[in-house]
Structure 1
Amino acid sequence: MQPLDPLTSPARRQAGRDLGRLTAAALLLLAGCSSAPPKRGPARPTAPAAPPPAGAQGLRLPAAQREPLLARTLLVINTPYTYGGNTPEGGFDCSGLIQYAVRGITSKPLPRTTAQWAQASSPVRGRGLARGDFVFFNTLGGRYSHMGIFVGNGQFVHAPSSGGTVQRVRMDNPYFAKRFTEARSIFA
């Protein structure tokens, strides 16, 4: 009988699997959003984003609605993250938070996914970022895989991921600063 190699022992293999699971959980905590959970297996080309609901293309709301949007957003800070969630009672994912906030200020049909929100909004040019504009991040390999609402003073509110809560974060946070893709607005 051969002695057990300590590097290939069952306990060592289990420890490696546990470490892998913890690493994956930590990455998900930082990334998260309403996009479908990543598929297992080889990477596939990304399909084009589905079009936003009818009437949402080019959503333009009066600038006077920025503050009511922010009020709704700030009231749900600390609400738990829930994949697919879009209510304070059921929790929020990132685009569900946006949908909830905007639904409170308009009766127009609204997008649901981050890619649809990007399609229904206009790019913010230069230093034009204002309270109530959307900020987008590439957290899962897509230009619009995560989003939040800019609240001013270099901060945005977002629903981070599983195990987290809706929170206010600085735009210069190292994780988000290097993943920022663009700002967009639904306000005229």
Structure 2
Amino acid sequence: MAATLLLATSLTLAAPEDTPVQVDKRVSESLNLILLGDQVKTSVGDKTNQMLGKAMTLLGVPYKRGGSSSETGFDCSGFVRHIYETSVGRLLPRRADEQAKTTEKIERNDLNPGDLVFFNTMRRTFSHVGIYIGDGKFIHAPSAGKAVRVDDLRAAYWTKRFTGARRVQEPLTTDPTNP
């Protein structure tokens, strides 16, 4: 709780041009994300928790077409690939449509934190991808001029464009001492 209060306090240090309403809205949104993170921690395994924690540290990193690093920016599939590789050691394909092909199809109502959500944003079935974080929300690198952020699957824009959900399967291992 102290960390939450500290974060909320630090968020109130706004840019001079921010109005009190803008600051209050950002603080409220940040606190909601913190609470969602606490809920996710209690409902998912350590690997998923680590992955989602890593994803949340990248909020605000700018979008860059073809980007795949926090230093230069991400596009949607580069963001997903980076998160899976750096947090749980899974190397996914580079493009969203390839990520869809190599993962297991699941129903939308079976989504768990860490699952992938796909959208048709460029007249292609799997042209955009994000990572589901729970409570109807997902984290992604949206488009040019924007940054990594959390959006709601239930928003009209995303509902209209939703094309499927996929689960990244655990890799098979032959070494029982190295899960």
Corresponding residue of 1:37: none
For the Cα contact (< 8 Å) 1:66–1:187, is it kept in 2?
A: no
Q: Take 2:151 and 2:122, find their aligned partners in 1: how far apart are those partners?
A: 19
TM-score (norm 2): 0.66
For the Cα contact (< 8 Å) 1:97–1:158, is it kept in 2?
A: yes
RMSD: 1.5
**Aligned pair in 2 of structure 1 residues 130, 79: CA closer, same or farther (>3 Å)?**
same
For the Cα contact (< 8 Å) 2:107–2:164, is it kept in 1?
A: no
Displacement of 1:105 after TM fit?
A: 3.0
Corresponding residue of 1:70: 52
Supply the AA of the counterpart residue of 1:138: N
Corresponding residue of 2:73: 91
1:124 to 85, 106, 123: 106
Q: Take 1:170 and 1:89, find their aligned partners in 2: how far apart are those partners?
A: 26
Q: Which runs of 5+ in 1 are unaligned?
A: 1-62
Q: Take 1:83 and 1:158, find their aligned partners in 2: how far apart are those partners?
A: 13
Give percent identity, aligned residues only: 35
Higher helix share: 2
Tell me the alpha carbon deviations over residues 117-166 of structure 1, each in whole angstroms, 9 at most, x when there is no partner: 01111011362100010000001111100010001011001111110000
Aligned residues: 126
2:172 corresponds to 1:172: no
Displacement of 1:106 after TM fit?
A: 4.1
Tell me the alpha carbon deviations over residues 17-57 of structure 1, each in whole angstroms, 9 at most, x when there is no partner: xxxxxxxxxxxxxxxxxxxxxxxxxxxxxxxxxxxxxxxxx
Corresponding residue of 1:139: 121
For the Cα contact (< 8 Å) 1:123–1:183, is it kept in 2?
A: yes
2:159 corresponds to 1:157: no
Supply the AA of the counterpart residue of 1:168: V
2:79 corresponds to 1:103: no
For the Cα contact (< 8 Å) 2:105–2:167, is it kept in 1?
A: yes
User: Which one has more relative contact order, counting CA pairs under 8 Å at least 6 apart?
Assistant: 1
Corresponding residue of 2:26: none
TM-score (norm 1): 0.63
1:82 to 64, 74, 86: 64
Q: Which runs of 5+ in 2 are unaligned?
A: 1-44, 171-179
